[in-house]
Amino acid sequence: MQTPCSDYKETKGLVYFARMLDKIRLHAQGQLPADYFVGVEDPTFFDARCTRFLGVDYEELAIRTLQGGSDEEILEWCFKHGRQPTEEESAIWSAFLCKRGWRDDATADLQAAKQRAGWDKREDIQTWVDLHDAEEGRAPRATYTR
Protein backbone atom coordinates (compact mmCIF):
# COMPACT_ATOMS: atom_id res chain seq x y z
CA MET A 1 0.00 0.00 0.00
CA GLN A 2 1.06 3.55 -0.66
CA THR A 3 -0.11 6.91 0.61
CA PRO A 4 -0.73 9.87 -1.69
CA CYS A 5 1.25 13.09 -1.67
CA SER A 6 0.49 15.82 0.85
CA ASP A 7 -2.54 18.04 0.41
CA TYR A 8 -0.05 20.94 0.42
CA LYS A 9 1.46 19.96 -2.96
CA GLU A 10 0.46 22.67 -5.43
CA THR A 11 -0.42 22.32 -9.08
CA LYS A 12 -0.50 25.68 -10.84
CA GLY A 13 -1.26 27.37 -7.52
CA LEU A 14 -3.93 24.90 -6.34
CA VAL A 15 -3.34 22.79 -3.26
CA TYR A 16 -4.89 19.33 -3.01
CA PHE A 17 -5.36 18.69 -6.76
CA ALA A 18 -2.18 16.58 -6.98
CA ARG A 19 -3.30 14.52 -3.96
CA MET A 20 -6.68 13.83 -5.57
CA LEU A 21 -4.95 12.59 -8.74
CA ASP A 22 -2.55 10.48 -6.66
CA LYS A 23 -5.52 8.88 -4.91
CA ILE A 24 -7.22 8.15 -8.25
CA ARG A 25 -4.05 6.50 -9.60
CA LEU A 26 -3.28 4.54 -6.45
CA HIS A 27 -6.89 3.37 -6.10
CA ALA A 28 -6.91 2.11 -9.70
CA GLN A 29 -3.69 0.17 -9.01
CA GLY A 30 -5.08 -1.32 -5.80
CA GLN A 31 -2.36 0.49 -3.85
CA LEU A 32 -4.46 3.00 -1.88
CA PRO A 33 -5.26 1.90 1.67
CA ALA A 34 -8.92 0.90 2.01
CA ASP A 35 -9.78 3.57 4.58
CA TYR A 36 -9.05 6.48 2.22
CA PHE A 37 -11.96 8.48 0.86
CA VAL A 38 -12.09 8.71 -2.92
CA GLY A 39 -14.75 10.21 -5.07
CA VAL A 40 -17.71 12.41 -4.42
CA GLU A 41 -19.98 10.17 -2.35
CA ASP A 42 -20.09 12.81 0.37
CA PRO A 43 -20.20 16.47 -0.75
CA THR A 44 -17.87 17.45 2.11
CA PHE A 45 -15.05 15.16 0.93
CA PHE A 46 -12.16 17.17 -0.47
CA ASP A 47 -12.44 15.34 -3.83
CA ALA A 48 -16.06 16.50 -4.15
CA ARG A 49 -15.18 20.06 -3.17
CA CYS A 50 -12.27 20.18 -5.61
CA THR A 51 -14.22 18.87 -8.60
CA ARG A 52 -17.08 21.28 -7.86
CA PHE A 53 -14.58 24.13 -7.61
CA LEU A 54 -13.18 23.21 -11.02
CA GLY A 55 -16.60 22.47 -12.51
CA VAL A 56 -15.72 18.96 -13.67
CA ASP A 57 -17.31 15.57 -13.18
CA TYR A 58 -15.28 13.33 -10.86
CA GLU A 59 -15.79 10.18 -12.94
CA GLU A 60 -14.70 11.97 -16.12
CA LEU A 61 -11.67 13.34 -14.27
CA ALA A 62 -10.78 9.84 -13.06
CA ILE A 63 -10.98 8.49 -16.61
CA ARG A 64 -8.81 11.36 -17.89
CA THR A 65 -6.29 10.84 -15.08
CA LEU A 66 -5.90 7.14 -15.84
CA GLN A 67 -5.23 7.96 -19.50
CA GLY A 68 -1.91 9.42 -18.34
CA GLY A 69 -0.21 12.78 -18.32
CA SER A 70 1.23 15.12 -15.76
CA ASP A 71 -0.81 16.75 -13.03
CA GLU A 72 -0.41 20.05 -14.88
CA GLU A 73 -1.75 18.55 -18.13
CA ILE A 74 -4.74 17.08 -16.33
CA LEU A 75 -5.44 20.40 -14.62
CA GLU A 76 -5.38 22.08 -18.04
CA TRP A 77 -7.96 19.48 -19.14
CA CYS A 78 -10.09 20.55 -16.15
CA PHE A 79 -9.81 24.20 -17.21
CA LYS A 80 -11.05 23.29 -20.70
CA HIS A 81 -13.87 20.99 -19.55
CA GLY A 82 -14.90 22.94 -16.46
CA ARG A 83 -13.68 26.31 -15.37
CA GLN A 84 -10.37 28.04 -14.79
CA PRO A 85 -10.34 29.86 -11.47
CA THR A 86 -8.68 33.24 -11.21
CA GLU A 87 -5.48 33.62 -9.22
CA GLU A 88 -7.53 35.10 -6.37
CA GLU A 89 -10.04 32.22 -6.43
CA SER A 90 -7.15 29.74 -6.33
CA ALA A 91 -5.64 31.53 -3.34
CA ILE A 92 -9.01 31.50 -1.55
CA TRP A 93 -9.48 27.78 -2.35
CA SER A 94 -6.02 26.91 -1.06
CA ALA A 95 -6.46 28.90 2.14
CA PHE A 96 -9.91 27.38 2.75
CA LEU A 97 -8.74 23.84 2.25
CA CYS A 98 -5.56 24.19 4.31
CA LYS A 99 -7.53 25.66 7.24
CA ARG A 100 -10.46 23.19 7.10
CA GLY A 101 -11.18 21.96 10.61
CA TRP A 102 -9.70 25.00 12.35
CA ARG A 103 -12.45 27.05 14.00
CA ASP A 104 -15.16 26.08 11.53
CA ASP A 105 -18.04 23.65 11.15
CA ALA A 106 -15.59 20.76 10.57
CA THR A 107 -13.80 21.23 13.90
CA ALA A 108 -15.89 18.71 15.85
CA ASP A 109 -15.36 15.99 13.23
CA LEU A 110 -11.63 16.70 13.19
CA GLN A 111 -11.45 16.45 16.99
CA ALA A 112 -13.31 13.13 16.86
CA ALA A 113 -10.88 11.82 14.23
CA LYS A 114 -7.92 12.93 16.35
CA GLN A 115 -9.41 11.16 19.36
CA ARG A 116 -9.95 7.92 17.38
CA ALA A 117 -6.28 8.07 16.39
CA GLY A 118 -5.19 8.70 20.00
CA TRP A 119 -3.98 12.17 19.08
CA ASP A 120 -6.51 14.32 20.93
CA LYS A 121 -3.67 16.02 22.88
CA ARG A 122 -1.60 16.86 19.78
CA GLU A 123 -1.69 20.62 19.34
CA ASP A 124 0.19 20.45 16.04
CA ILE A 125 -2.85 18.86 14.36
CA GLN A 126 -5.31 21.72 13.91
CA THR A 127 -6.69 21.06 10.41
CA TRP A 128 -7.68 18.11 8.24
CA VAL A 129 -4.57 18.68 6.16
CA ASP A 130 -2.48 18.44 9.35
CA LEU A 131 -4.22 15.19 10.21
CA HIS A 132 -3.57 13.73 6.75
CA ASP A 133 0.12 14.62 7.03
CA ALA A 134 0.37 13.13 10.54
CA GLU A 135 -1.39 9.93 9.48
CA GLU A 136 1.05 9.57 6.59
CA GLY A 137 4.17 10.15 8.68
CA ARG A 138 4.80 13.77 7.74
CA ALA A 139 5.13 16.53 10.33
CA PRO A 140 2.12 18.87 10.21
CA ARG A 141 2.99 22.40 9.10
CA ALA A 142 2.37 25.27 11.46
CA THR A 143 0.63 27.34 8.78
CA TYR A 144 -0.11 27.40 5.08
CA THR A 145 2.10 29.78 3.16
CA ARG A 146 2.08 30.58 -0.52
CA distance 105 to 146: 24
pLDDT tens readout for residues 90-144 = 999 999 999 999 999 999 999 999 999 999 999 999 999 999 999 999 998 865 5
Three-state SS at 123:
coil
pLDDT tens readout for residues 2-15 = 999 999 999 999 99
The domain spans of the chain are 10-135
Q: Which residue type, as a one-letter code, is found at position 146?
A: R
pLDDT of residue 145: 56
pLDDT tens readout for residues 35-75 = 898 888 899 899 999 999 999 999 999 999 999 999 999 99
CA distance 146 to 36: 27
The alpha carbon torsion through 131, 139, 17, 23 (nearest 10 deg) reads -70
CA distance 111 to 120: 7
pLDDT tens readout for residues 68-79 = 999 999 999 999
